[in-house]
Amino acid sequence: MNIGIVGLGLIGGSMAWDLRSLGFQVLGVSMREQTCQKAIAKGIVDDASMSLSLMATADVIFICTPIGAIASTVEQLVPHLSSAAIVTDVGSVKAPVVQALSELWPNFVGGHPMAGTAESGIDAAVRDLFVDRPYVITPTPTTPQLAVEKVEEIARSLRARIYRCRPEDHDRAVAWISHLPVMVSASLIAACTSEFDPDIVRLAQQLASSGFCDTSRVGGGNPELGVMMAKYNQKELLRSLNSYREHLDRLINSIECQDWQTLQQNLEQTQQARGNFEF
């Protein structure tokens, strides 16, 4: 089977690398010639080009460009596709992408591998990025079943954990566990660095240890991704941010009122609830 990867960055490059190691013929398309050359030289793909015509012999094509470029890329890709080709994407937001792409190519399946690092571009591509990570498939009532099964089979070969849900449910769920944490973590970094005394800021930076490292990680990632999450998942992100603000206000209120009992109860509840997240 020939696999096509459009967008040879962190996700596309990592996926291409693993699929090639598994014996698939992997063809890559990226925006810059330098990226295509690098992908070939590192053995990430069998062949690469800046032209989407390379996708003519691909059976399953993964669109791994930034979210903002997914729909226009598929629009340009369609004239090159064989009639049986399956198109899927890896975008972090699903409802608007699935709606746009289903109209462009009926044999389309939305997907989202929930894995990443703070890096981007082909140099950030790594092996085994998707092992034991969730890979969400978001079919609609009109998505061809065979295409869903084929994409799931490929995702399973990456040793990812497969989940299926509606695009809208995906967007609401990832707002809570992916998009909200980025905004909370970014606010944490901004609040810490807003301390007016530069000596205290410097001291805090020197004393920062594992707790701050964990809680600031996603707020210190690729800014473009954060903007894309907000832009394409605006409604669900705002819903989760407003709820977060309410919970923060409750904590502030308990502390101002020296209501240590309520604070204790809240922290006991969150300690227990954290155990239900399957990371």
Residues making contact with ligand NAP (CB under 6 A) = 6-12, 29-32, 35, 64-67, 69, 73, 90-92, 112-113, 116, 120-122, 124, 225
Kindly tell me which of 10 and 147 has the beta carbon lying closer to ligand NAP: 10
Q: Which of 252-263 are b and which e, b meaning 16 or more Cβ less than 10 Å from the residue's Cβ?
A: eebeeeeeeeeb
Closest separation in Å from C-beta 185 to ligand NAP = 14
Kindly tell me which of 186 and 263 has the beta carbon lying closer to ligand NAP: 186
Within 10 Å of residue 1's Cβ, how many Cβ atoms? 12
One DSSP character per residue, 78-146 reads GGGS-TT-EEEE--S--HHHHHHHHHH-SSEE-EEE----S--SGGG--TTTTTT-EEEE---TTS-HH
Contacts (Cβ under 8 Å, ≥6 apart) of 13: 5, 39, 44, 122, 124, 125
By Cβ distance, which residue is nearest to ligand NAP? 9
Kindly tell me which of 73 and 254 has the beta carbon lying closer to ligand NAP: 73
Q: Position of tokens 């473009």? A: 224
Kindly tell me which of 64 and 254 has the beta carbon lying closer to ligand NAP: 64
Closest separation in Å from C-beta 65 to ligand NAP = 4
Closest separation in Å from C-beta 232 to ligand NAP = 9
Q: List the Cα angle 76/77/79 in 5-degree steps.
A: 90
Closest separation in Å from C-beta 250 to ligand NAP = 31
Beta bridge partners of 26: 3
Structure tokens at 109: 């399946």
Closest separation in Å from C-beta 41 to ligand NAP = 14
Within 10 Å of residue 234's Cβ, how many Cβ atoms? 13
Kindly tell me which of 175 and 254 has the beta carbon lying closer to ligand NAP: 175
Kindly tell me which of 31 and 173 has the beta carbon lying closer to ligand NAP: 31
**Beta strands at 60-63 and 86-89: parallel, antiparallel or unpaired:** parallel
Contact 61, 87 (CB under 8 A): yes
Closest separation in Å from C-beta 279 to ligand NAP = 14
Contact 15, 158 (CB under 8 A): yes
Q: Position of tokens 């998009």? A: 179
Closest separation in Å from C-beta 276 to ligand NAP = 23
Kindly tell me which of 36 and 148 has the beta carbon lying closer to ligand NAP: 36
